[in-house]
Amino acid sequence: MKHNPLSQIKEIRMERENPFWKPLQSLLKVGFQKSLFILTLVVLVLPIAEGVLTETWSSAPNEAKSAAGWTLAVVAFIHAILGFYILWSEFAGSPHMVVGKAFELQEQSNRQRRELDRREATYRLVRGAFDGLNLQTCTISGVLDEERWCHGGFHYGLAPILQPFIEQAEVAFGLSTRRFTLEAYFDQDRVPVRGRTEVCSSGLCQHFFFGEHVGRCAGVCLEACCSPAKLARDAGTAFEQHISSNQQLFFDGANPKSAVYFRRYAVVPITESCSDVPMGVLVLTSMQDEEFAPDILDTLKFISTLITHFHAAYWRCFYEAEYALEEDAADFRSGDNH
């Protein structure tokens, strides 16, 4: 990538706290002085010397021409070497090339530092999410309590755990837009429900959905051929993809299909607790064309593990509540009989 040398110098001066700035400044100063000296020789001093020597050689008697000629040849050779050196240094070692390379190295270092900071923040989110999971599931007891989170449904209980990732999606997932969705789908009858019907399509039921600019039904209503959840279930593995790399699925002619609400997506399986058997799919979609964070699949696998543990706790909570309801009903019937 080429940069404007003036803008490079300006930006590097803004990084003067960098320990490499002073050595680079000294190098540039010495390089400029050397280039100025050689340029003066090539453009001014040597042409004058060659002119004088040529005049001397042409007017010298025949017996003295040899010495003057050799002197002229040596000066002309030095002139040619210095001229070649100037041309070579412009392409290989000139000050502005040094500045450009230094700036690119500094830019690369800054990118790596930002990526490390992002990953550190993501790991803090993961640790916080596990703490949230522990707090959430520790409220489970065998006593029926209508305020318990599992009575509100799977989405209601899972939302607080995933909220930190949603709020800081730019950090956790490397997003460049808020037009994204985070979705969790399970095979039918994998998540117990009470008083409601599952929203399912092609055997996959949606039990969690977040999207500020997309309706909940968008993911379920997609055709099977262009649904990330269904593609992931068929593939049985984690992957990410831009829709342009699979145009036969996501495009209608030259444009994306109208129902496709994303441009890039990443998917990972959700497995059963204490097993590697998949029971669902976690989906991240975004309208961005840029790539996600380099560790996006690792982050989604962390979240998938959270969901697996939450699913086990939710299942236990749900059926403990069901058992408590049945016991209360049995006690009530027993009291009526007496």
What does the DSSP assignment read for 149-185? GGGG-HHHHHHHHHHHHHHTHHHHH--S-S-EEEEEE
pLDDT computed for residue 3 by the predictor: 43
| 3-state SS assignment for residue 209 | strand
| 3-state SS assignment for residue 143 | coil
Give me the mean pLDDT over the 140-159 stretch: 64
Give me the mean pLDDT over the 207-213 stretch: 92
CB–CB of 125/168 below 8 Å?
yes
Least confident of 24-28, 30-34, 88-92, 105-109: 88-92
CB–CB of 286/262 below 8 Å?
yes
pLDDT tens readout for residues 121-141: 777 777 667 666 666 666 544
CB–CB of 269/236 below 8 Å?
yes
- Residue 148 clears pLDDT 70, i.e. is over it: no
Q: Please report, to the nearest 10 degrees, the dihedral formed by the alpha carbons of residues 288, 212, 147, 139 taken in order.
A: 20
Output the six-digit token pair for 302. Answer: 């962390």
**What whole-number percentage of the chain has pLDDT above 90?**
27
CB–CB of 174/293 below 8 Å?
yes
Compute the mean pLDDT over every residue in the chain, rounded to the nearest whole number.
Answer: 77
pLDDT computed for residue 291 by the predictor: 93
pLDDT computed for residue 73 by the predictor: 77
- Residue 146 clears pLDDT 50, i.e. is over it: no
pLDDT tens readout for residues 88-126: 666 655 555 666 676 777 777 777 777 777 777 777 777
pLDDT computed for residue 89 by the predictor: 66
pLDDT computed for residue 125 by the predictor: 76
Give me the mean pLDDT over the 5-18 stretch: 47
pLDDT computed for residue 324 by the predictor: 58
pLDDT computed for residue 13 by the predictor: 47
CATH architecture of the region 143-330:
2-Layer Sandwich (3.30)
Q: What's the pTM?
A: 0.62
User: pLDDT-derived band of residue 142, with 50, 70 and 90 as boundaries?
Assistant: very low
CB–CB of 217/208 below 8 Å?
no
Output the six-digit token pair for 252. Answer: 């209608």
- Residues 213 and 219: their CA atoms lie apart, in Å, by 13
- CA Rg value for the chain: 36
User: pLDDT-derived band of residue 68, with 50, 70 and 90 as boundaries?
Assistant: low
CB–CB of 185/283 below 8 Å?
yes
| 3-state SS assignment for residue 265 | strand
User: pLDDT-derived band of residue 6, with 50, 70 and 90 as boundaries?
Assistant: very low
pLDDT tens readout for residues 233-253: 999 999 999 999 999 999 998
pLDDT tens readout for residues 257-316: 999 999 999 999 999 988 889 999 999 999 999 999 888 998 999 899 889 988 988 888
pLDDT computed for residue 104 by the predictor: 75
Break the chain into its structural domains and give their ranges: 5-107, 143-330
- CA 117 and chain centroid, separation: 12
pLDDT tens readout for residues 45-63: 777 777 776 767 677 676 6
pLDDT computed for residue 208 by the predictor: 93
